[in-house]
Amino acid sequence: MRIALVNDMFIAVEAMRRVLTTASGHQVAWIARDGVEAVERCANDRPDLILMDLIMPRLDGVEATRQIMARTPCAIVVVTANVDDNASKVFEAMGAGALDAVNTPALSQPGNFEGAKALLAKIETIGRLLGMSGGQKSDAATILSRAAGRDQHDQLVAIGASAGGPAALAQVLSALPADFPAAVVIVQHVDQQFAPGLADWLSNHTRLRVLLAQEGDCLRAGTVFLAAREHHLILASPTHLGYTPIPVDCSYQPSVDVFFKSVERNWPGTAVGVLLTGMGRDGAEGLKALRDRGHHTIVQDEATSAVYGMPKAAIELGAATDILALDEIGPYLTNMLAQRNKP
């Protein structure tokens, strides 16, 4: 695999170069010292993979990733000194098209780089996604969708709820079949300490698998992912979920609006936004963004809402494609997605 290295630190470039020499089949295509140079080099010589730093002079890794994916798209993995410390920028880069992130390997003792195995594992995974092992390389336009094992027909149901939400969620999920053809992501206003209990409780009301959403989770049809931290759950890229503390001025963390808007930005397939009972306005603007993008949106009606604040705000904004009673939402989702999946 031809791999380009983008990093302004000589020691980091040298560490990555040495790590690559330990595995057969890889060669350094070129080296760029900042984002501007990377964009220019990629336009003239597109590699199979770019290992992209985040913090660089002139143009950082986020904007360089965005420009490369717009002009000459190729696989990009963020390689930064500390992924956890740079989480928000990692999410931005993944939102711009980067496939994954890993810590920069560091020299721990002569001839031995700490983190080398992790970096090589990421490269091997990307190689499989690109079809390198089979001798056929995928075109760049399909890199992101294949990274998650998805295709253009992939479907996502994004649900937001607040006061009265647990019971409403249980009723919606109970109506979904075990072979439900979409991933389901739920943002319910609940303290982090109560999220595990809510996931267990919802599991008893559905035939789907219910998981606490973890950083880096890849969405899968027939699986429910529940926001489980006091930061915002987001679709960090077309392939992964993530968490971010930004924006900090939201009334709720996690915020339904923040998640819906991340879906509007990053989801490449069919999405359905659902806003259930709750106090306030969280989710209304995000649902409107989804509808404006062309996705179907559903709002719970007043008669069956425990608290009509969030649904009412969404309706007033014109965010609702359909306004349904609670007991109609699950069957409606099942029938709608089944129709879309027919040949």
Give one word for 299, left, alpha or beta, with left for phi > 0 and alpha for psi -120 to 50. Answer: beta
Q: Determine the pLDDT at residue 343.
A: 55
Of residues 191 and 330, the one with the higher pLDDT is: 330
Q: Using only C-alpha atoms, what is the Rg of the chain?
A: 22
Q: Which residues have C-beta within 8 Å of that of residue 68, sequence separation ≥ 6?
A: 38, 39, 42, 50, 74, 76, 97
d(C-alpha 184, C-alpha 285), whole Å? 20
Q: Say whether 162 is catalytic.
A: yes
Catalytic residue among 282, 295, 301, 305: 282
Query: Region 39-56: what's the mean pLDDT?
Result: 94
Q: What is the mean pLDDT of the chain?
A: 86
Catalytic residue among 189, 232, 240, 295: 189
Maximum CA pair distance of the chain? 70
Q: 71 pLDDT exceeds 80? A: yes
Check if the beta carbon of residue 215 is closer than 8 Å to that of residue 243: yes
Of residues 88 and 246, the one with the higher pLDDT is: 246
Q: Say whether 205 is catalytic.
A: no
- Spatial CA neighbour of 285 closest among 317, 252, 244: 317
Give me the residue label for tokens 């998981």. 211
Check if the beta carbon of residue 331 is closer than 8 Å to that of residue 306: no
d(C-alpha 158, C-alpha 247), whole Å? 20
d(C-alpha 283, C-alpha 302), whole Å? 16
Domain architecture of the chain: domains with CATH: 2-147 (3.40.50.2300), 155-340 (3.40.50.180)
Q: Determine the pLDDT at residue 158.
A: 98
Per DSSP, 255 falls in state: -
Q: Say whether 296 is catalytic.
A: no
For the segment 122-160, what is each residue's pLDDT rounded down to a tens digit?
A: 888 777 666 654 434 444 444 443 343 443 348 999 999
Q: Is this model's pTM higher than 0.95 or not?
A: no
Check if the beta carbon of residue 241 is closer than 8 Å to that of residue 94: no
- What are the two backbone dihedrals, phi and then psi, of residue 247, each rounded to the nearest 5 degrees? -80, 150
Kind plus residue range of the DSSP H or E element containing 273: strand 270-275
Catalytic residue among 145, 154, 162, 231: 162
Query: Region 314-330: what's the mean pLDDT?
Result: 97
For the segment 229-274, what is each residue's pLDDT rounded down to a tens digit?
A: 989 999 988 878 999 998 988 878 899 999 999 999 999 888 999 9
Q: HSE of 202 in the Cβ direction (CA atoms, 13 Å)? A: 31
